[in-house]
Each structure stands twice: as structure tokens, then as C-alpha cells.
Amino acid sequence: AGRPDGGTLLAGRHLLVTSGPTHEPIDPVRYLANRSSGKQGHAIAAAAAAAGARVTLVSGPVTLPDPLGVTVVRIETAREMLAAVEAALPADIAVFAAAVADWRPANLGDEKIKKGPDGPPPLGLVENPDILATIARRREGRPPLVVGFAAETTEVIAHARAKIARKGCDLIVANDVSTATGVMGGDRNSVHLIGRDGSLETWPVLPKDEVARRLVVRLAALTTTP
């Protein structure tokens, strides 16, 4: 039984996904952001919903439509994203596909910064919370399956392997986002799946929708109790 395009692989599961960039205000009219279209994260949310999961998508500012059958929580900053993720728990599976800004401008006040004779303002930065690491290292209420992404421009696999250990997640989807690949903002993705045990699987270049569907099949297999 089930629906033609995915059916019931994730029926009864709650899947939490982060997607898109975060925007970190500099002043009321300016922000610091990461480059991210949200296409891959939104595609994962859509594929999981099509596979029967209850899906919560915590999304930064994107121009994409809300995926069908998904609860979408819109946020702007990394700190808002963390709060929304925590509010959405418990989840059976959490997939952190967002391109979170690593830093935010130190509080510069409520008024627009004006140009002046003193030149550019000094932009002090402070580090944002690491949402993936915070959730993956929770003692209570950690989702049983925590998946991170790694956006790399060089030594993709080595950097991703270091990340899985540092962040405490179960699986990393590493993608090569060097500009030549066209992954950033494009419709196709080139990914490697890296497991906590060091396992490595390289997928062919595929449309982001297809990467999402295959990932859903994998997540279902990893959460199925024998």
C-alpha cells in the first residue's frame, strides 16, 4: 500500500529539517548572511512528507514555496533557528541542512549606521550557537538519528570526517560547493555520505530532489528497528 512516490517509508515518524540561510542583523537595514537557496533542505522536507513522515521545516529566509504537507517555521537568525528547533522536539530524525551564519555582528544598536568621516564602522563579530552540535550532544531528547551537512570547497571528505566527530552526529552529507560545481543555488548536487564508523559512499551528481528521495530511503533504513 502507500502513495505511489514514496508511500509509507517514514509513516509515524517526526522528521525535523533546517534549511536556508540565516540573516544576522548589522543594523535595522543591513545583515550578514550565508549563501543558500534552501533547495536541498526543502527537497528533503518534501520527500520525507511524501514518504509519510510528519515534517517540521525550520527555514531561514528563502524564496521557495512551502513544501506540501509540511509545517514550516520561519526564522531569521541562528539563535531563532536554535529556539525553533528546540521547540519542535522531540523528533525521530533531525536533518541539519541549513547554512547557518557562523558569526553575528556584535550588538551595534537600534539605529541605522550612517556613513561619515570616520570611515567604515568596525564590525565586531561574535560566534553563533552551533545548532547541530547542540542537538546532537543533548543528553535528553536527542533525536535517535542526527544528520549534518558539510559544505566544503576543498578536501571535502577529510573536512567532513573531522566534522562528524566534532559535532557528534550520526551521518554527514558532504557536498562540494566550490563555485565550479554549480551546487550553490543550482538544481543538482554532488554528495558523499559519511558515517560515524568512517564509512564513505559517493553518489553520482543528481538533481537535489533525487538526492532528497535517496536520503529519505536511507534514513528510513537507518531508523527501522529490526
- The yes or no reply on residue 132 touching ligand CTP (CB under 6 A) is yes
Give me Rg for the CA atoms of the chain: 18
Strand duo 93-96 + 145-152: pairing? parallel
Contact set for ligand CTP, span 57-86 (CB under 6 A): 78
What whole-number distance in Å separates Cα of residue 44 and Cα of residue 225?
22
**Considering only 70-78, 85-93, 99-107, 129-137, which stretch makes contact with Ca ion by CB under 5 A?**
99-107
Position 128 contacts ligand CTP (CB under 6 A): yes
Distance CA 167, CA 80 (A): 20
Binding site annotation covers 208?
Answer: no
Task: Compute, in degrees rounded to 10, the torsion defined by CA atoms 187, 191, 193, 199.
Answer: 170
> Is 167 within any annotated ligand binding site?
yes
Q: Which of 80, 92, 102, 210 binds Ca ion (CB under 5 A)?
A: 102
We find the least distance from the C-beta atom of residue 164 to ligand CTP, in angstroms, to be 10
Asked if 76 contacts 49 with a C-beta cutoff of 8 angstroms, the reply is no
User: Any catalytic annotation for residue 175?
Assistant: no
Q: Which of 214, 16, 202 is nearest to 96 (CA)?
A: 16
Smallest gap from residue 11 Cβ to Ca ion (A): 34
Residue number with CB closer to ligand CTP (70 or 135): 135
Distance CA(43)–CA(41), nearest Å, equals 5
Q: Which residues are catalytic?
A: 34
Q: Which residues bind ligand CTP (CB under 6 A)?
A: 18, 78, 96, 98, 100, 102, 128, 130-132, 148-151, 163
Binding-site residues for CTP, in ranges, read 102, 112, 129-132, 149, 163, 167
